[in-house]
Amino acid sequence: MEIIIKRDAEEASLEAAALFRRQLREKPESVIGLATGSTPLRFYELLVEMGRERVLDTAHAVTFNLDEYVGLHPSHPQSYAAYMRAHLFNHLAVARSHIPDGMAADIPRHCAQYEEAIRDAGGIDWQLLGLGSDGHIGFNEPGSSLGSRTRLKTLTARTVADNAAHFASPGEVPRHVITMGVGTILEARRCVVLAFGAGKAHAVAAMAEGPITALVPASVLQMHPACTLIVDEAGAGALQRRDYYRWVYENKPAWQRP
């Protein structure tokens, strides 16, 4: 796992956006996995800015979102479909976008079809991930199978509380979601994880330096052949080998830089 420590969330988002632009320059028809939440908001703003400046072309890209709330129509303002329209798809064109259907009548069947659509697209080339404060990725809560596929998940009380800020009250937060599985995420050819702030520091350390365990689903990314974790100084606060990670980044050969 490559660990990049930047001064703040702005610099970290710029690094991620540069990596994304490099991916599309090298493969314009890339299949991209997308995340939601507060962490990637600046990343999406930067993509939109690059699109306006015509230094980023997403027209041939295909996207798959990680997850969606069960029971929220795509028009609901707190659905992840609405989030993606507001922050990306209303501003940048892509060839095709896919988001799990939280209103699906047959959820197991829909999940199997989502997996099939990813396979038919050739698999995910570049997967963006956030990191939950308890170490979850997507909505794969602690205890999730490390080989899991797209499926229904029940949110923990902690995740409901974390997400309640986006709803009028905690009681309005859905208790169930559809999420790509840990095994699905692991099949992406490259993963880029963003984690900012002191509140994520413990999860960052557990993910990158702790044992691989289902209690910290993100820790399985230690086994991924091409995973980049980008954190700010606060998020890196609990890492034991911070100085080494900085040394590695500062001495990267030019061809590895975005």
Q: Mean per-residue pLDDT for 91-114?
A: 98
pLDDT tens-digit readout, 167-208: 888 889 999 999 999 999 999 999 999 999 999 999 999 999
pLDDT band per the 50, 70, 90 thresholds, residue 158: confident
Instruction: Collect all residues with Cβ–Cβ distance below 8 Å to 19 and sequence separation of at least 6.
Output: 192, 228, 258
110 is annotated as an active-site residue: no
166 is annotated as an active-site residue: no
Active-site residue, from 68, 87, 101, 136: 136
Quote the pTM value. 0.95
Average pLDDT, the chain: 96
Calculate the alpha carbon distances from 157 to 37, 150, 172, 173, 175 in Å.
17, 21, 13, 10, 9
Please say if the pLDDT value at position 162 is more than 90: no
Active-site residue, from 141, 162, 232, 233: 141
Query: In the chain, what are the domains?
Result: 2-256 (3.40.50.1360)
pLDDT tens-digit readout, 45-58: 999 999 999 999 99
202 is annotated as an active-site residue: no
Please say if the pLDDT value at position 126 is more than 90: yes
Calculate the alpha carbon distances from 203 to 8, 134, 179, 197, 248 in Å.
17, 6, 20, 11, 22
60 is annotated as an active-site residue: no
Active-site residue, from 67, 101, 162, 232: 67
Assess contact for 96 and 62: CB atoms under 8 A: yes
pLDDT band per the 50, 70, 90 thresholds, residue 44: very high
